[in-house]
Chains A and B, each alone.
Chain A
Amino acid sequence: MFLEETLKRIQSHKGVLGTIVVNAEGIPIRTTLDNSTTVQYAGLLHQLTIKARSTVRDIDPQNDLTFLRIRSKKHEIMVAPDKEYLLIVIQNPSE
């Protein structure tokens, strides 16, 4: 219940373009974008997350990746990685 509320709230925040929850295999569980975009985001970000995590842990194995933010010209992509899923939010902060 709390989860649903939070998700809804996030989706309704100012500037948020889309929210995606993807499981470990890349299958979207929840999404507010269309399927092709979702799949594209999921695939690409999954790889990037793996690489980022590998980087972080290579430097210090006791460390781990907690959050990943990619800021681009048009918007910001925020990825909360986990072992079983990926939480992706795309926001346009300058709106």
Chain B
Amino acid sequence: MSNGTAKMKKPVVKVTPSSRFSVNPKMPSIYQSGAPVKHNQSIMNRSVTGSSSRRSVVLQADSKLLDKGSLQTGKQAIQVFDEQGNDVTPLPLFHPDPNAPPPKQSNFFASQDASMITAPDFLSTISMYQTGMNTSFAGPFTRSIIGSSTVSKSSRSTVESMNEEIEEPGTKRVISLSLSDVQIRREEVKDIVTEDMLDKTVDVYLTETETLWILDMPATMISTDAEEAETVKLRTQAYVELCKNRLGNDLYVDRMMQTLNDAPKCKEVQCEKIIRAEAATMATIWDMYDTFLAEEASKEDNKTTKVTQPSRILSRPEESKGTDAMSIISSASISSLSSLGVDAESIISGLTKEEPSDPELILKSESFQQNLCVMERIIMENIFQPKLADYRQLHILKDPDCKPPEEDGIEEEPTEVTATTTPTLDRLWSFSCEVTKGHNVSSMAWNKINKDLLAVGYGEFDFRDQKGGLVCCWSLKNPMWPERVYHCESGVTSLDFSIGNPNLLAVGMHNGEIVIFNVQRQEDTPLIDSSNCFNKHTGPVWQLQWIEQERGASGDDKGDSLISVSADGKIAKWYLRKGLDCTDLMKLKRTRGDKSKKPTGEKERKIEALISRQAPGMCFDFHPKDANIYLVGTEEGHIHKCSCSYNEQFLDTYKAHRSPVYKIAWSPFSPDVFLSCSADWTIRLWQQDLLKPVLNFSSVNRAIYEIMWSPKSPMIFGAVNEERVEIWDLDNSILDPTIVSSASPGVTLTTILFAESTDCVLIGDSDGQVTVYKMKHLTSGITTQANALDDLIGSTLASQL
């Protein structure tokens, strides 16, 4: 019992039920706790009854406890003596406040001296109460105890008041009575006070309450200066020694314990591996579009599948086995080689297409070929870009990374005063390859629709040098390799593209055969040839032309028909009817010259005994405006004007040339004027009405193989003779050609062709080369009027008169 330290001691007075009867009616308060109290009480009872010795306890000890100060009114303090007579008076637990309210309790306590409490009981009760009590427990029991004895009112009140007194300090005292009673009591007292002492000044003292130790953990270390330092050191030392001595010491026994461990059991749990895969997708616009289209296409799969349908899925090259995949010219559309629109359709990936990724198959696929084609062209473009640009009259792109070579190296541009620049021919490039090497260029023709496509026929003029002929279709985009190569049995002497069906190329050959190729195909075999025709030509077909005729004969609604003239004197019109068949438009009869009569009389008769009655026709040309009228040039040198309506008679004959007329050309600008060239070294300008030529042009003593009017300018025409190219500008001079360009030695120039929209001229030679020249600085061009030629003619005629 920590009596020494703890100051909270509760006054314990207990009255046992057995001793109650001898107790003064004024009973002290009874401090009770709950169940243990009862127990103690019974113990107390027993102790009380069992004990032989009794101690008299003067209840006035309470009063001593409560009113220690001035309230000692001569009462005797309670003194407790044990058996040996020692004073074991319990020390007061409570020291009341000196300002406590006036003690009525003193009387109360004074009269309460009859309790008989044994000392040990008292002690025990003290100890019991010290353990802590509860007011609630105390209440009912107290009351019952009090009630069981004869308690006067005053005693009760005193008990209550005492309780109140005890309770007042507000500390750990436990009041036996219930709180409510106490509170009521208290309030009464307070009221009395305030009324009396309203005017008095009340001194209020505030004091600090006692320190409450809630937890005290003393430090395990103390400073060496502390008082206990020595003792602590001694103890520490003793402990160390003890530890040393512990081993053999009997006081210390080592004991061990073993825990029995059961055998561990491994348990494994395994789940299937969770395979994680990341999936990501990007929804692009075209992706959605493709998906949507695929759904639609699967619906339409049952319906007609036309190759030309815009749905790309269906138009795979499988269906168009080479017929249209490589179409150079499609009759249905104007898509030209230059446009990659057609290519795009088949290159676009088909969704339903299952093409194995076999490398060989890839290489053989149509799209690959097409791509190759395109690639080649682009390479060409890179190589030939300046030339091509020049050709097309586009701005030549200067490669920014390389020094631009002087393309105009031949020309005098860099050092030239631009005022006077002589017209020249600027060589751009030439179409040639190994295949064509050595062949003589006999004819050239532009495609009617695709202006970039050029058909060149290779064949010897001379019957002695006949070898296999060749037809090559060149594209401007690829000057190094022809798009199509067709081999023919005999030399090609003429060719022409059809107008109505631009993919048809008619070729006339030296053996009189006419074949028609479809240039959409690659194969060598022609679409049709005239070998089965009865009326076919027996001599070289010197000229072919597709003519648009307005009047359609029965079945001929296409609008153009093929006209040919050959050395057997026939002008034939061909049409397709179960094969190529022809009708004769005209048979060229030999006409006698006015002057000369051969003494042999061979030519006098209309019906001659010569090899043939016919005069070999060399060339013809239909009137640009009137498709009925055409001119024919013969080997005799005569030019006949004929009409389609008459196939026996000529309308007119123009005689001037003395050797075969190689070419006749109507002027595209003046409707009445035409030009003719022949092997007699002259070019003659005619007017339709006059039987005599208006103008004669001659420059060198060479046969002039071909002439052609410039499609752009009315006064310019080109002529090619064996050794040079001449560009005549009638505006400039009518005596001399304006531009002259000589051929390389050993090569004879054979054909000339003007390019439609540009200032370029193509010259074919006997070596198989077709050279593209650009005419530069021709002063007369657009400025001249169409009727300038007429003016010229008029003036010439006038001067002749």
* B362 A21 Cβ-Cβ under 8 A: yes
Residues of B within 8 A of A25 (CB): 357
Whether A3 pairs with B369 at a CB distance below 8 angstroms is yes
Contact: A87 with B289, CB < 8 Å?
Answer: no
- A37 → chain B closest CB, angstroms: 19
Q: Would you list 15 pairs from A and B whose C-beta atoms are within 8 A, ordered by A residue?
A: A13-B379, A13-B380, A13-B383, A21-B368, A29-B363, A64-B344, A64-B348, A69-B378, A80-B375, A82-B347, A82-B367, A84-B362, A84-B365, A93-B382, A93-B385
A91 to B290, CA, bound (A): 34
The 7 closest A-B pairs by CB, nearest first: A57-B286, A94-B402, A61-B289, A83-B349, A80-B371, A93-B382, A29-B359
Contact code string B196-229 (vs A, CB < 8 Å = 1, else 0): 0000000000000000000000000000000000
Q: How far is the CA of A91 from the CA of B374 in the complex (A)?
A: 14
Please tell me the number of chain A residues within 8 Å of chain B, measured between CB atoms: 40
| Interchain CA distance A61-B285 in the complex, whole Å | 6
**A52 contacts chain B at the CB level, 8 A cutoff:** no
Given contacts A64-B347, A87-B368, contact A54 B284 (CB under 8 A): yes
Contacts of B399 in A (CB 8 A): 93-94
Q: How far is the CB of B377 from chain A (nearest CB, A)?
A: 10
| Beyond A3-B372, A24-B357, 9 extra complex contacts between A and B, CB < 8 Å | A6-B376, A10-B376, A27-B359, A58-B285, A82-B368, A83-B355, A84-B362, A87-B368, A94-B399
- Smallest Cβ distance from A38 to chain B, in angstroms? 14
B286 touches A58 (CB 8 A): yes
Q: How far is the CA of A18 from the CA of B39 in the complex (A)?
A: 115
Interface string of B321-348 (1 = CB under 8 A from A): 0000000000000000000100110011
**Residues on A with beta carbons closer than 8 Å to the beta carbon of B285:** 57-58, 61
Q: A2-B522, A57-B286, A94-B402 are in contact. Are A21 and B363 (CB under 8 A)?
A: yes
- Residue interface bits A13-25, CB-to-B below 8 A is 1, else 0: 1111000010111
Chain B contact residue count (CB 8 A cutoff): 42
Is A87 within 8 A of B372, CB to CB? yes
Q: How far is the CA of A69 from the CA of B522 in the complex (A)?
A: 29
Q: Does A62 sit at the interface, judged by CB under 8 A?
A: yes
B371 contact from A24, A57, A62, A87, Cβ within 8 A: A87
Are B383 and A14 in touch, CB under 8 angstroms? Answer: yes
The answer to whether A91 touches B369, judged by C-beta atoms less than 8 angstroms apart, is no
Cβ of A42 under 8 Å from chain B: no
A46, B105: Cα distance in complex, Å: 113
A33 interface residue (CB < 8 Å to B): no
Decide if B401 is an interface residue (CB 8 Å cutoff): yes
Q: Give chain B residues whose Cβ lies under 8 Å from the Cβ of A57.
A: 284-286, 289
Q: Are A6 and B373 in contact (CB under 8 A)?
A: yes
Contact B286 A94 (CB under 8 A): no
A69's nearest neighbour on chain B, judged by CB, is: B378
Whole-angstrom distance between the Cβ of B342 and the nearest chain A Cβ: 11
Cβ 8 A contact of A16, one of B289, B357, B379, B402 = B379
The residue of chain B having its C-beta at the shortest distance from the C-beta of A64 within the complex is B348
Interfacial chain A residues near B378, Cβ < 8 Å: 67, 69, 78
Task: Say whether B527 faces chain A, with CB atoms less than 8 Å apart.
Answer: no
Q: Which of A39-82 contact B (CB under 8 A)?
A: 54, 57-58, 61-62, 64, 66-67, 69, 73-74, 76, 78, 80, 82
